Structure 1
Amino acid sequence: MGYAVVLGEALVDLLEADLDGELIYRQAIGGAPLNVAVAATRLGGDVRYVGTLSDDVLGDRLAAFLREAGVGLSGVKRVPVPTTLAVTTFVGAEPTFTFYGEPPSYALLEAGDLDRDGLRNAEVIYAGSICLLREPFRTAARAAWAAAGPIKVFDPNVRPTLLPDAKAVQNLRELVEEFFATADLVKLSSADAAVLYEGSEPPAAAERIRELGAKAVVVTCGSRGAYVATGDGAEMLPAPSVAAIDATGAGDSVMGALVRRLLAEGVPADLAGWRRNVRFALAVAGLVCERQGGATAMPTNEELVARWGALA
């Protein structure tokens, strides 16, 4: 089994919480790509994180967390700017993010920082998320994505607070569609689909993304489950019933679980194979939603078995 390279942001979330009637913010490790890297690693995958971390105390904590989780850090570049903060507020279990820090500590990776041999030899490459909105990371991600050989997985991870107007949405759509066109898997949320494609429901958005060239599309739909579309069909798969307390990182756990399956088994040959993988990923996400969310909520295989029994 080979390794996965995950490119993208790592930052610190300040999560809105209630403490004895007082509104506080709880500090947590965050960033969608970091969550993906940790999720796939805890499920038994060999994952190498590629990105920039601040050289401040919060950057040290991010590096220590990744190291302790077993994620490879040879592709990390330390940078002399403060760690970006994502202030996270909730309506129910669903988070909304507002970002603070300029320049963003997570977006300073340059194409020249990449290990080109390491990228070519990877089994899977993940790209996406808010790091693509900024240079020089966008150029670095394009260079990494061009590596021949690895399975390519992409998640736009749309954050509306970073898209101030219709022009910004159009620019993001054009950017992510560039990656969609050559992806083996695109994973996005139904909310992402609605922003990118003017309120489109998952089937219409998935069909458009597949028409661009993506081989498979998975659209997560919260408690409703996930819609999966491939070359030989499409299907809505239900989510397991859970008592959700925090959905932070749930979508990232789906991607992490799918990366883990791609590392173990390669790209599924048909819809049935994708169905099996997505059901596994939804079980992972269900367990994440029953915990305080984010990277620390990502489960191990043993925890999955303890919660759901043996998973196919």
Structure 2
Amino acid sequence: MSYAVVLGEALIDLLEADLGGELIYRQAIGGAPLNVAVGVARLGGRVEYAGSLGTDVLGDRIAAFLSEAGVGDKGVRRVDAPTTLAVTTFEGAEPAFTFYGEPPSYALLRPADLDHGVLAGAEVLYTGSICLLREPFRAAARAAWAGFGGFRVFDPNVRPRLLPDDAALAALRTLVEEFFATADLVKLSSVDAELLYGDSDPAAAAGRIRALGAGTVVVTRGARGAHVAAADGEATLPAPVVDAIDATGAGDSVMSALVRRLLADGRPAGLTGWREYVRYALAVAGLVCERQGGATAMPTPAELAARWGEL
């Protein structure tokens, strides 16, 4: 059975919520790559997570959650660092994140920690997100990416609060373009694209990333759907109409759905196939937005069928 390796961060989200008029913070297990791994598993795919987890009680909870979700742990390294916290506040349904913990527990995976046997057997490798901002994780991701012979998937997942100035943003742009250039699929949000390139046009961003060497680019646009650019054309797809309460993890669910379809059905031959994959991914994200966000919002095929019927 084909499987994916998801390489990246896992942490604890503290999600702002209202309880009887009092502002509280609800604890949830998160991190964009962890969300992707859990999403793939919930959708019926086989996936191995590779990343570093603290040895504290919160790290234990993350490890148990991954196991219960059916995510493989062959690539997990436990590290002597407090588990990173991401405090999440909201404007409407859209989340904003502030991170606490130094050194970040999620970025301590080393190149020597990589399981090259697991990588060699995988069909899909995903990496990206905030863990790339720190060493030694960045070196580990570069090593895994360079040596991988399957389908390479990347998501920059830009977090402005981790970029203190224009120089930091420029350095991130250079870094993510290094991965864009050899990615088979890049998924990013329109907000990511505007932060990186100062252009709100998703088609322009997708064209720029494809010109760097990426195979297919999907730019998600929240309630406005997604733009997909492939070698033989491009298209904009609408999002399903939903009653959104929390968009946390919605972009990650798009990625998990795309990875799941790649594992099940392989690389699409062209734009027609990618349109089908993205339509499925937007349905997954729509259901995620109707739930309290994070990894626990990732749906199963039965839940998708109950909400949307045959996809």
Which TM class, normalised by the smaller chain length? over 0.9
Q: Are 2:70 and 1:64 aligned?
A: no
Aligned to 1:102: 102
Gaps of 5+ in 1: none
Deviation of 1:171 after TM superposition, in Å, equals: 0.3
Task: State the match for 2:139 in structure 1.
Answer: 139
- Maintained 8 Å contact 2:199/2:205: no
Deviation at 1:199, TM superposition (A): 3.0
SS at match of 1:148: coil
Answer whether contact 2:10 2:62 (CA < 8 A) is retained: yes
Structure 1 residues 258-277: aligned runs within 5 Å? 258-277=258-277
Structure 1 stretches of 4+ with a deviation exceeding 4 A read none
Deviations 1:67-120 (A, max 9, x none): 000000111000011000000000000000000000000000000000112112
- The 8 Å contact of residues 95 and 247 in structure 2, kept in 1 or not, is answered as yes
Deviation for aligned residue 1:149? 1.7
- Residue 248 of structure 1 and its aligned partner are, at CA, apart by 0.2
- The one-letter amino acid of 1:20's match is G
* 1-structure distance, mates of 2:146, 2:121: 13
Give the aligned partner of residue 50 of structure 1: 50
Q: Percent identity?
A: 75
Contact 2:125–2:148 at 8 Å: present in 1 too?
no
Superposition pairs for residues 134-283 of structure 1, below 5 Å?
134-283=134-283
The aligned counterpart of 2:308 is 308
Residue aligning to 1:3: 3
Aligned AA (1:42): R
Q: Distance in 1 between matches of 2:125 and 2:262?
A: 10
1:93 equivalent in structure 2: 93
Q: Counterpart of 1:235 in 2: which secondary structure?
A: strand
| 1:230 maps to amino acid | A
Three-state SS of the structure 2 residue aligned to 1:292 is coil
Q: Which runs of 5+ in 2 are unaligned?
A: none
> Does the CA contact (< 8 Å) of 1:121 and 1:149 recur in 2?
no
Q: Could you tell me how far apart the structure 1 residues matched to 2:124 and 2:148 are?
A: 11
How many residues are matched?
Answer: 311
Cα distance in structure 1, aligned partners of 2:204 and 2:197: 9
Aligned residue type for 1:273: G
Q: Give the alignment's TM-score, normalised by structure 2.
A: 0.99
Larger deviation, residues 110-119 vs 87-96: 110-119
AA paired with 1:293? G
CA distance in 2 between partners of 1:147 and 1:256 (Å) = 22
Q: Please give the alpha-carbon distance, in whole angstroms, between the structure 1 residues aligned to 2:217 and 2:48.
A: 24
Kindly state the Cα deviation for residue 200 of structure 1 after the two structures are TM-superposed. 3.7
Partner SS state of residue 6, structure 1? strand
Question: 1: distance between equivalents of 2:105 and 2:262?
Answer: 30
Residue by residue over 1:118-145, the C-alpha shift from the partner in whole angstroms, topping out at 9 and shown as x without a partner, is: 1122100000000000000000000000
Question: What value does the CA root-mean-square deviation take over the aligned residues?
Answer: 0.6
Structure 1 residue matching 2:252: 3-state secondary structure: helix
Deviation string, structure 1 residues 154-174 (Cα, Å, up to 9, x no partner): 000000000111111100000
- In the alignment, the residues of structure 2 paired with residue 278 and residue 141 of structure 1 have an alpha-carbon distance, to the nearest angstrom, of 26
1:115 aligns with 2:108: no
> Could you tell me the TM-score, scaled by structure 1's length?
0.99
Distance (whole Å) between structure 2 residues aligned to residue 295 and residue 50 of structure 1? 16
Structure 1 counterpart of 2:16, which letter? E
* Deviation per residue, 1:189-230 (Å, 9 max, x gap): 000000000134201100000000000000000000000000
Supply the distance in 2 between the matched residues of 1:232 and 1:194 (Cα, whole angstroms).
Answer: 24
